[in-house]
Amino acid sequence: MFTAVDIITTKRNGHALTSEQITWMVNAYTAGEVSDEQFAALAMAIYFQGLNDNEIFALTTAMLNSGVTLNFSDLGKPTADKHSTGGVGDKITLPLTPLVASFGVAVPQLSGRGLGHTGGTLDKLESIPGFTVDLTEAHIRNQLRTVGGVICAATGQLAPADKKIYALRDVTATVDSMPLIASSIMSKKLAEGTDTLVLDVKTGTGAFMQDQDAARQLAEKMVWLGKEYGVATTAVLTRMDTPLGSTVGNAIEVEETLEVLAGGGPDDVVELTLTLAQHMLAGAGIDADPAEHLANGKAMDAWRAMVAAQFGDPDAPLPTAPHEHTVVAPETGVLTRMDARAVGEAAWRLGAGRQFQGQPVQATAGIRLHAKPGDRITTGQPLMTLYTETEDRIPAAQELLESALEVAETFRTPDLIIDVID
């Protein structure tokens, strides 16, 4: 018989927990038999003492097995999934899902909402008139079979232990623990039952893991976990010091997605979309150049079919904001810095994001970037356009952006993709 106090004490003192102890603690907490205070104490002990590989595996397994797991082996096609650790302007899931689906791969992209400075995929898609993200498992399965791609909310039955534990970590300063992050992400993604998983692990000022070495360690641990479960897993380590693409928000990021699917769009968004698509296709056993389906319209066809299958209107105009404001260049030179976190927080202040779960967001709020680091600019040149439905939000966003920009004489744009870990 285990007790919560004994388990907390063991980890507090720096000793390894057995898989049985971890499983008991997770199950008891999920069932309400262990208090928030006790599990918070364990999370803090893990934060300081860490977990070894056996403990990480046991924690992931316990959270994975706390709910239902999906299985799409009956679809008759390979399945591939992608996860991003979150960034600013990160709309990659939107063009990536239909692009990979257009090659005959089932892509069950169960996504989340934005919180703080990072945007949410579901919030972006809900700016499309009629688009529905809350789907039944039967609908998801049928859409994967007929359309190939689906982007929707995860059911509460997937890894419910993780949902409860994450909510506790969020209010007890134990979010940024590598073992807890790895187990949290992988328990949810493994529950989705895909054959192939590609992880976009971001590092930099706008990323959750700002330190590159820490981000690499997280990527390596998640790849290891995936392969231990028999899932072909690859991690792409990417830079997130500058927002991705030219838009940060909801409807305007969908607008940019359509540009990419039409064969255009910002270079960095296209590069990352194609890189992740290449790894997803390779994991699914398909030898193809994903750029071909951006050029010939097949990815756009898959997007339109996906939107329609989720009750959206692919031909409906996207909503636009009633208020806008232009931020201009303070001096002449080369733009050397556009801090991703500051831009993300400014978009949040404009109404594009939320401070707490359940808070509504503005579909039209956001920021359009007219220049990126490496571009030569002149005094008074438009750098950004701010959009909002609430005009009095603009000054607070402007204040944040004043320290986000730097101008110098020369600048070398760093590579977007740092490394691939497989």
Q: Is the pLDDT of residue 195 over 70?
A: yes
Structure tokens at 248: 């940060």
Q: Is the pLDDT of residue 22 over 80?
A: yes
pLDDT band at residue 249 under the 50/70/90 scheme: very high
Query: Across residues 248-257, what is the average pLDDT?
Result: 97
Nearest residue to 338 via CA among 282, 272, 408: 408
pLDDT digit string (tens) for 336-388? 999 999 999 999 999 998 776 677 889 999 999 999 999 999 999 999 999 99
Where in the sequence numbering do the catalytic residues fall? 83, 162, 169, 184, 188
How many CB atoms within 10 Å of residue 336? 17
Amino acid letter for position 200: D
Q: What is the pLDDT of residue 119?
A: 74
Q: What is the pLDDT of residue 115?
A: 61
Amino acid letter for position 197: L
Query: Across residues 113-141, what is the average pLDDT?
Result: 88
Q: What is the pLDDT of residue 332?
A: 95
Structure tokens at 51: 């977990």
Domains of the chain: 4-50 (1.20.970.10), 73-159+170-180+191-309 (3.40.1030.10), 323-408 (3.90.1170.30)
Q: What is the pLDDT of residue 114?
A: 65
Q: What is the pLDDT of residue 356?
A: 66
pLDDT band at residue 305 under the 50/70/90 scheme: very high
pTM of the model: 0.93
The DSSP-derived string for 36-90 is HHHHHHHHHHHHHH---HHHHHHHHHHHHTTSB----GGGSS-BEEEEE---SS-
Write the CB contacts of 331 (distance below 8 Å, at least 6 apart in sequence): 379, 407
CA distance 351 to 367: 11
Contact 415, 239 (CB under 8 A): yes
Lowest mean pLDDT among 17-21, 84-88, 264-268: 84-88
Length of the chain: 422
CA distance 168 to 157: 18
